[in-house]
Amino acid sequence: MINFEPFEISPYRQKIMMYHSGISFRPVVKRLLITCVAVITFMHAHADAGVLKISGLISGYTGSEAFLAMMYGGNQYVVDTAQAVNGGFVFESNYKLQSGVYLVVLPPANSFLILVDQDIPAFSFKGDIRDIDGTLQFEGSADNTAYYDYYRFFETKKSSLDQIKKEYDAKGNEADKVELMSRMQAVKKEIVAYQMALVAKSPGSLTAAMVKCELPVDVPVFDGSPEEINLRKYMYQKAHYFDNVDIADERLIRAPKNVLVDRVHFYLDNLTPQHPDSIIASVDYILAKTEKTPVSYRFFLTDMFNKYREAKSIGMDAVYVHIAEQYIAKGKAPWIEDKEKSDVLAAVARISPTLIGKQAPDFTVQLEGGKDISLHSISSPYTVLVFWSPNCAHCQQAIPVLGDFYTAWKDKGVEVFAVCTKLNEDEKNCWDYLDKNNLHTWINASDQMGGASTIHSQYYITTTPKIFVLDRNKKILAKDLGVEHLDEVMKRLMPK
């Protein structure tokens, strides 16, 4: 059963104790980021659009500088620097900072959050370096005041919950545990009541938008067997997971990651069945909810594109291909430059033919004596297609394991079709290796026509071994798995 516990999530804090370790002008990410270059281009687009003045006074701060960093999808970007004199500093930006959560960093080891409303041109705050969170007071920003009131309330109640939990764990008497559990539930009800009152009082504020994300979803009481009840609860929770979360509120993109981004990832990773078709439906659902809010749409399209491009789970490349074909190729990501778009679509074209669920492309190679054999001519109920190379260290480790697998499964309708990837003068090394290691029990073949089979391009063979599991009709059932996993895969696929 999926349990939503809103009290496990602390209020939105993202302390950065060393400013140089958590903030950069651009994050260092070694991957394809289709909006990386443009993450903070809003500063250029809105240059000279108006001056935002944020004045701060932190008693006891002796540093000479203060930094203001914008949050964006879990990263921080420095957007302004101010000279500090006797704890006082002023961020006075010529850029129209957009609404969201920002981080004030006081080197070397202090930071705290402030909320920026792009429609409020100026506000101020003061506090004490010895307890910034506990002493901050704001002038001209009711939203910041509400946020810190909530934060302090929550910290107090969380302390109470921690103490009760400690007592609960120490008790052995069941009656005592019941009483302590009742006290714990009472404190949790106080928190929810405070949250609901805050949201009702200031429904349009950023604080309310963030706090509303915390509100639990009330699940109805269902009838039926335990399995039916559990399934209905899951279905209801999935359908109503975003009832209190406005995915399209771009301010929540400019907030700590756990406010919105982590919630969307939880929906994709935990509430969505981990099958490409189900994930694709969830991806489309999220993008449909954000399509009228360019900032949110752009962020989540990019985020999910990269998430599934880098996914290690088998079959997730289908999600990456779907996003590329249905959004990028169709011009629904106009911010992507032509060169990057071309690279993305070229990569997709290479992997699209061999997605799980598609029929494996046919090809013709040769047996040892030169006779042609095609993949689709193999009539076995299951075919394990293996592309390998005689000088590949991983192949040399995998082939003995493949032998054990074939011995166990050859009488159960499983054929192995091993295709050596060497060409031209190197092709003869395939057969020398097979002879030397007595590996002639399954079907072995190679391309003796200098690449006429086009297997390298059709199957995008960049590393070996590369393994596919196919059914009788040569539909791809599994791929890119290790030889050591073949036994487990076949046990799942084989009819009882």
Sign of CA dihedral 91, 96, 101, 102: negative
* Mean pLDDT, residues 36-59: 62
* Mean pLDDT, residues 3-18: 33
Share of the chain above pLDDT 90, in %: 80
- pLDDT for 326 equals 97
Q: Which helix (H) or strand (E) holds 65?
A: strand 65-72
CATH architecture of 19-140: Sandwich (2.60)
Helix (H, G, I), strand (E, B), or coil: what is residue 136?
A: coil
Using the predicted structure, report yes or no on whether residue 339 has a pLDDT greater than 70: yes
Structure tokens given for 163: 């103490």
- pLDDT for 28 equals 25
On average, the pLDDT of the chain sits at: 88
* Mean pLDDT, residues 247-272: 96
Degrees to nearest 5, angle at CA 387 with 383 and 388: 130
- pLDDT for 4 equals 27
- pLDDT for 93 equals 74
DSSP code of residue 74: T
Q: Name the residue with higher pLDDT: 283 or 97.
A: 283
- Residues 264-315: pLDDT tens digits? 999 999 999 999 999 999 999 999 999 999 999 999 999 999 999 988 888 8
- Residues 343-364: pLDDT tens digits? 999 999 999 999 999 999 999 9
> How far is 32 from 227, CA to CA, in rounded Å?
43
- pLDDT for 176 equals 85
pLDDT confidence band for 50 (50 / 70 / 90): low
- Residues 403-453: pLDDT tens digits? 999 999 999 999 999 999 999 999 999 999 999 988 899 999 999 999 999
Q: How far is CA 353 from CA 280, 325, 350, 376, 441, in A?
A: 18, 13, 7, 15, 29
Say what the pTM is.
Answer: 0.84
Using the predicted structure, report yes or no on whether residue 45 has a pLDDT greater than 80: no
CATH of domain 364-493: 3.40.30.10
Lowest mean per-residue pLDDT among 44-53, 159-168, 185-194:
44-53
- pLDDT for 1 equals 26
- Residues 128-180: pLDDT tens digits? 999 999 999 999 999 999 999 999 999 999 999 999 999 999 988 888 889 99
> How far is 2 from 5, CA to CA, in rounded Å?
10
Lowest mean per-residue pLDDT among 38-47, 192-201, 259-268, 296-305:
38-47
- pLDDT for 138 equals 98
Verify cis geometry, omega within 30 degrees of 0, for the bond prior to 108: yes
> How far is 460 from 257, CA to CA, in rounded Å?
36
